[in-house]
């Protein structure tokens, strides 16, 4: 006989199903585009046209198979995370933030050097980027510490300075890798979480006044001015150098028109647009699927943002749950926004993936992990309410701490 109580553990609200639909649609779109970019008949014809070795021996499905495995693993991780109760997640906050710091510090010494950056651990052919787990750990820590100090948010040090200090230490470790794009992402999400929780506006002004000179020095020092800022402002003067990738990306977007060349027909592949299957996959969507494809991509992220915020808001009586849901949603959507801004040359170049879409194991699994944690919030909201207890938990902004 079917256990209906067990089946109830997998019930979701309409917003939960919207999250699932958006995430799976993004993953499916990315899978199709990765195969289009890295394999298939067009790639073979391209190699043949360049008078290279015969392409009959080329395995055009390597990236497709790898990404399929990453998606399957991500779905498994999301399922497990969905079944983990939020009270247990809350208890794991402190170990998680400690592990995150150890991984971020360790990669500076033990990580592999890829294009001058130490961002990945590599073991037995597998690579792992600790930044991905660190962003989840940071969100959980900020949600936890803000709830614990909810009555101290007006205190400039205990309620604002200390949570921001933890964020700042993570950002320093990211900048040492260097990973400026992730550092910006961490800072923006942490600032938004503190602002939504009720920190005073002039605290942010004071923090910006302190941080801006340091940021300015970091940006203009050494290679960043010549390799990032000037090529961003004047890409036409660096078409065969620092701006080669962004010019190719803009060409891909512009050539796609309304409907694109058609799936698999885009002339820009891995040889013409570097990192076309990872950081710059949105440019290939623009070329092969046109404005319609990019609009559909943005619509899916819009759906994810709307559903995630609604799930977070449904837990507004608990500051930890509310900020956990909001932070996870914003982290994924803002990462997508940064990626799209880079490939459209709206901001200087940064190495950051497109969540659920770009090729990569760590990014895919952690994106699905975040999805599972959001679904855990949604699933618990649909449980039969417990008997009323006195006194009732106050609503935001004076949320009562959870048990555990």
pLDDT tens figures, 319-353? 999 999 999 999 999 999 999 998 888 887 777 89
Question: What is the mean pLDDT of the segment spanning 79-90?
Answer: 94
Q: Which two tokens stand for residue 50?
A: 């360049």
Q: Name the more confident of 205 and 58.
A: 205
Q: What pLDDT is attached to residue 25? A: 97
Q: Which two tokens stand for residue 177?
A: 């890798």
Confidence grade of residue 371 (pLDDT, cut at 50, 70, 90): very high
Question: What is the mean pLDDT of the segment spanning 17-28?
Answer: 97
Q: Name the more confident of 381 and 3.
A: 381
Q: What pLDDT is attached to residue 169? A: 94
Residues 311, 322: Cα–Cα separation, whole Å: 8
Give the tens place of pLDDT for each residue, 115-162.
777 888 988 777 889 999 999 999 999 999 999 988 777 788 888 888
Residues 187, 173: Cα–Cα separation, whole Å: 13
Q: What pLDDT is attached to residue 198? A: 86
**CA-closest candidate to residue 377, choices 313, 282, 295, 330:** 313
| Residue in the structure block whose two tokens are 């080329």 | 58
Q: What pLDDT is attached to residue 328? A: 97
Confidence grade of residue 277 (pLDDT, cut at 50, 70, 90): confident
Q: What pLDDT is attached to residue 269? A: 67
Q: What pLDDT is attached to residue 399? A: 45
Provide the residue ranges of all domains of the chain, joining segments of one domain with +: 11-51+58-380
Q: What pLDDT is attached to residue 326? A: 97
Confidence grade of residue 355 (pLDDT, cut at 50, 70, 90): very high
Q: Name the more confident of 165 and 10.
A: 165
Confidence grade of residue 55 (pLDDT, cut at 50, 70, 90): very low
Residues 25, 357: Cα–Cα separation, whole Å: 9
């Amino acid at each position: 006989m079917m256990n209906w109580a067990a089946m109830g553990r997998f019930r979701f609200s309409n917003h939960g199903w919207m999250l699932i639909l958006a995430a799976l649609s993004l993953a499916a779109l990315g899978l199709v585009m990765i195969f289009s970019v890295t394999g298939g008949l067009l790639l073979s014809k391209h190699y043949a046209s360049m008078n290279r070795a015969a392409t009959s021996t080329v395995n055009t499905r390597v990236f497709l198979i790898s990404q399929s495995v990453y998606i399957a693993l991500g779905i498994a991780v999301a399922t497990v995370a969905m079944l983990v109760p939020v009270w247990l997640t809350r208890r794991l906050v402190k170990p998680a933030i400690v592990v995150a710091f150890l991984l971020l510090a360790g990669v500076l010494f033990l990580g592999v050097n890829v294009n001058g950056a130490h961002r990945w651990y590599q073991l037995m052919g597998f690579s792992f980027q600790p930044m991905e787990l660190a962003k989840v750990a940071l969100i959980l820590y900020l949600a936890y510490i803000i709830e614990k100090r909810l009555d101290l948010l007006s205190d400039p040090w205990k309620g604002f300075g200390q949570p921001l200090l933890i964020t700042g230490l993570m950002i320093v470790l990211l900048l040492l890798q260097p990973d400026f794009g992730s550092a910006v992402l961490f800072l923006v999400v942490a600032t938004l979480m503190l602002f939504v929780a009720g920190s005073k506006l002039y605290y942010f002004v004071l923090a910006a006044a302190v941080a801006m000179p340091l940021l300015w020095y970091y940006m203009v020092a050494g290679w960043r001015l010549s390799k990032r800022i000037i090529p961003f402002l004047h890409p036409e003067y660096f078409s065969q150098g620092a701006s080669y990738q962004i010019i190719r990306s803009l060409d891909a977007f512009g050539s796609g028109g309304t409907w694109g060349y058609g799936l698999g027909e885009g002339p820009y592949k891995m040889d013409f647009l570097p990192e076309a299957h990872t950081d710059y996959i949105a440019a290939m969507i623009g070329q092969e699927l046109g404005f319609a494809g990019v609009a559909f991509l943005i619509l899916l992220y819009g759906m994810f943002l709307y559903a995630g915020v609604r799930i977070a808001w449904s837990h507004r009586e608990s500051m930890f749950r509310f900020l956990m849901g909001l932070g996870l949603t914003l982290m994924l959507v803002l990462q997508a926004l940064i990626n799209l801004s880079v490939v459209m040359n709206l901001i200087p170049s940064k190495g950051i993936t497109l969540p659920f879409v770009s090729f990569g194991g760590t990014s895919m699994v952690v994106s699905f992990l975040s999805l599972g944690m959001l679904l855990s919030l949604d699933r618990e909201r649909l449980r039969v309410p417990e008997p009323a207890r006195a006194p009732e938990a106050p609503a935001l902004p004076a949320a009562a701490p959870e048990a555990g």
